[in-house]
Amino acid sequence: ESSGNGSLSQKTSLPGHREVSSGVSVSFSTHSPSAVKEKLQPNKDTVFFRDGVRRIDFVLSYVDEKDGEKKQERRRAFEANLEKAGLELETEDKSDSKDQKTYFLKIHAPWDVLATHADVLKVKVPFKESDIPHGQDVPLEWLSRPFRLPEHIMNPEPDYFTYHFDKTKTDFFLIRDKDTFFPPSTRNRIVFYILGRCSYYKEGQKDKDKTGIKRLLSNGTYTAAFPLHDCRYWKRARNAECESERYNLYKHWARFLCFYKEQPLNLIKKYYGEKIGIYFAWLGFYTEMLFFAAVMGFICFTYGVLSYDDNITSKEICDPNVGGSIVMCPLCDKNCTFWTLNSTCHSSWQSHLFDNEGTVFFAIFMGIWVTLFLEFWKRRQARLEYEWDLVDFEEEQQQLQIRPEFEIRCTNRRLNKITQEMEPYLPLHSRCARYCLSGATVLFWISLILACITGVIAYRLAVYASFASIIGNHEGETGSHENKILLVGGLITPQLATSVTASCINFVIIMILNFFYEKVAIWITDMEIPKTHLEYENRLITKMFLFQFVNYYSSCFYVAFFKGKFVGYPGNYTYMFGKWKKFRNEECDPGGCLIELTTQLLIVMAGKQLWGNIQEALLPLMRNWWSSRKGRHNPENHYSRWEQDHVLQNFSQLGLFYEYLEMVIQFGFITLFVASFPLAPLLALFNNILEIRVDAWKFTTQFRRPVASKARNIGAWQEILNAVAILSVVTNAFIMAFTSDMIPRMVYLYAYSNSTSMKGYINSSLSEYRIPIKPQTMTEDSWLRHFNKTCRYRDYRHPPGHENEYSHTMQFWHILAAKMAFIIIMEHVVFVVKFFIAWMIPDVPSDVKARIKRERYLIQEYLHNYEVETLKLQLSASFITDPQSELSLTPDRHEMLSECL
């Protein structure tokens, strides 16, 4: 069985002799075609036509329905046009398939078709082995040996100088075997390009809507279109010299036991194409950088645990003589009772684990880490662009890969000033109308998200009131006058219980809305009719990320920046929908709102990662289990290669879009709100180690082989990451200033404490309120027992009886000034360091720049010498009286060219 890797250096076919996929060496000088067919027929697990010579570059499948005359007509017209385009077809009858109803159309692109379209698409091909030295001696290389893979897996191809293929200069390139010159990934990309632009209307008709394989798939004419995997993933190819690339990927990359090994990026690129290779390179680099953030976050969390016993603030809250003697005002109207401060003892200890001095350091560290990650990725990306011949690819991609949908739906034509050719375009009035409708739809769905978040907030208020009602009834039944917040379980206060249940409900709403966002974003983008594939992806990325950003982060923004900030004070509370609705704005726990933000972030982030892994691993495994088992237990001669791939899942054009989106949303969690949860990078690290192998397993075992496509970088995701990185500095600065209690504690310690310690901070941070004649917001029983007494609440206001009673004290303004100063200082320090690091670290490594210039110089030199030698050959041939045939000139020509090169 041939792996079909197309390597130029591993094997050279001899004239009249070829290794076929069945492992049988067939000499065409001694075997007739019928004999060849007989030898090949027993083994159908092959990637070649029945003649054993022509490679299957693409497969189309269809079911011949009884009432499908229109579909039959479309197929006949489409296949006739494919043959006119030069493709060779071979059909497998439904009687040979396992289900006895599916036909398979195998497509082969001969040399002339490949050469023509490689010229059109400017495919880069090798013309000389590179003589630029690669690699440097790495100090302590022996330490990395356990993590390295074999050299033939890491670098499956030699390094070549490459140049855009030119059909008129075939003797300039290293064409040792035309059958293997273009690798399978390039072949299936070219065939898919032809399929996407081939019409299925009859000759003489002009119906441009009837064009492309995508429309034929959508209207059911064909059921699937895919290139073939080179062999089975779980078993080595029969011929040891033609080891399967898919098998190598599964053995060295897709198994979870390889989680500590490096990724074979060159093999991934060679088999799946540059676009998928770039994704796994980015995901691997992101995971490596997460290791440093995870270690630092774990250290900061450990500091919170070790300083647990030194937390004077929590000790005062838990002290019966301090916290037990402080009576707090009710946290809601009517149902809530007065309560003692020491009821929140456990939550104050929990809050200290995440809200301590180390949190400030970690927030600053993450601001710098984000910059280092993005800058070092740019360098890594630049190196991959050079190694994978993608340096000048973007311009070609924008010019050549016009979407067939744009060509079909845009009937207007105008002259392109650059190419001087007529091209389709979308009129300005149509474009503006589509953009306005798109913008209105986006605003509507964002408003829907905000409405759902508002509903969750209302739920929090109602549920907390219900908890308070239960507590009130409990207190009334016991007749106790000792006011305490009844704990839910052993350690959870009603506020924390409310936060947990609200977070779970919010997560469910997020998952439900995500189902609709995907369809809405695709519909809007299709309606705008982008011109190129790159433009289509960028617009879809922008819309989908905007939806996901609001969906996933809005609840965290509410807890971090709004909850407990607009409460008012007893006697003058602020209400969410007005006083007539009785929904009083939420207050923070006496230990601060940071622990609630931590809870929200943990549930949403961990829930998303858990659900994502279930979707990616368990569901596909269950869905394809029967098909996979069936494929393993059926003999090869009864279960063909195209049938084995047909039962696999289709990898859509937007497959990588969802993978990137998942990781970028995670990136937002670990950067935007990381000050509230230092363990977030550690959770992300564990998830990504699993994510790499799950994605690799899916690509290798669960998906059909994707059509290879090129990409020089991660596209619009780079700009989104940059925007999230900048926003994260702002959000973490505000979290430390307004959500954490760090600044109020520091102001008290250095400005108001008499003993330069935190003793007395709790009493200083609570204001006093005198219970007046029965207010509307208090129950009869509570008022009778506390009439003309005082209760405490979180704020800095003058006590009753003061000439400015219930107005803010000077300590409040000092703290506010300190908060604003902290925000300004932290942002400027981090931004200065960020920009200094970005300036110090060049985007392209100096050695890569030198290699690019050197290679361009050598290519121009070789091309010049080639043109000169070609001209000499032409001039010398013109003086020969007896013209020699092209065959007789070829050896001398190649000899002269080889001397030149």
DSSP secondary structure of 73-98: HHHHHHHHHHHHTT-EEEEE-GGGST
- Counting Cα atoms < 13 Å in the Cβ hemisphere of 24 gives 21
The per-type count for the chain, helices as H runs and strands as E runs, is 30, 16
User: Does residue 511 sit in helix, strand or coil?
Assistant: helix
624: left (phi over 0), alpha (psi -120 to 50) or beta: alpha
Place of tokens 């398939």: 97
Place of tokens 């006496």: 590
pLDDT score recorded for residue 401:
61
Q: What are the CA-CA distances from residue 891 to residues 172, 709, 896 (Å)?
A: 13, 37, 9
Beta carbons within 8 Å of 84's beta carbon, 6+ residues apart: none
Residue segments in the chain with a per-residue pLDDT below the cut of 70: 1-43, 67, 133-142, 203-209, 237-243, 335, 394-401, 418-421, 465, 467-496, 577-582, 589-592, 618-638, 772-788, 879-901
Q: How many CB atoms lie within 10 A of CB 341?
A: 25
How big is the CA angle at 284 (ends 158 and 664), to the nearest 5 degrees?
135
* 8 A C-beta contact, residue 316 and residue 323: yes
- Counting Cα atoms < 13 Å in the Cβ hemisphere of 837 gives 17
Q: What are phi and psi of 58, to 5 degrees?
A: -160, 155
pLDDT score recorded for residue 872:
83
Q: How far is CA 759 from the centre of its chain?
A: 48
Which of 806, 764, 791, 811 is CA-nearest to residue 341? 791
pLDDT score recorded for residue 109:
93
pTM for the predicted model, two decimal places: 0.84
Q: How many CB atoms lie within 10 A of CB 642?
A: 25
- Counting Cα atoms < 13 Å in the Cβ hemisphere of 763 gives 12
* 8 A C-beta contact, residue 322 and residue 562: no
Kindly state the tokens that stand for 632: 């393993």
pLDDT score recorded for residue 420:
66
Which of 218, 189, 191 is CA-nearest to residue 74? 218
**What is the C-alpha separation between 332 and 470, in angstroms, rounded?**
13
Which of 288, 297, 284 is CA-nearest to residue 692? 284
6: left (phi over 0), alpha (psi -120 to 50) or beta: left
* 8 A C-beta contact, residue 383 and residue 135: no
**What is the C-alpha separation between 693 and 853, in angstroms, rounded?**
37
pLDDT score recorded for residue 675:
87
* 8 A C-beta contact, residue 555 and residue 456: yes
Kindly state the tokens that stand for 815: 């703290």
The angle that helices 655-672 and 716-734 make with each other, rounded to 10 degrees, is: 20
Q: What are the CA-CA distances from residue 590 to residues 157, 583, 619, 763 (Å)?
A: 64, 20, 43, 12
pLDDT score recorded for residue 689:
94
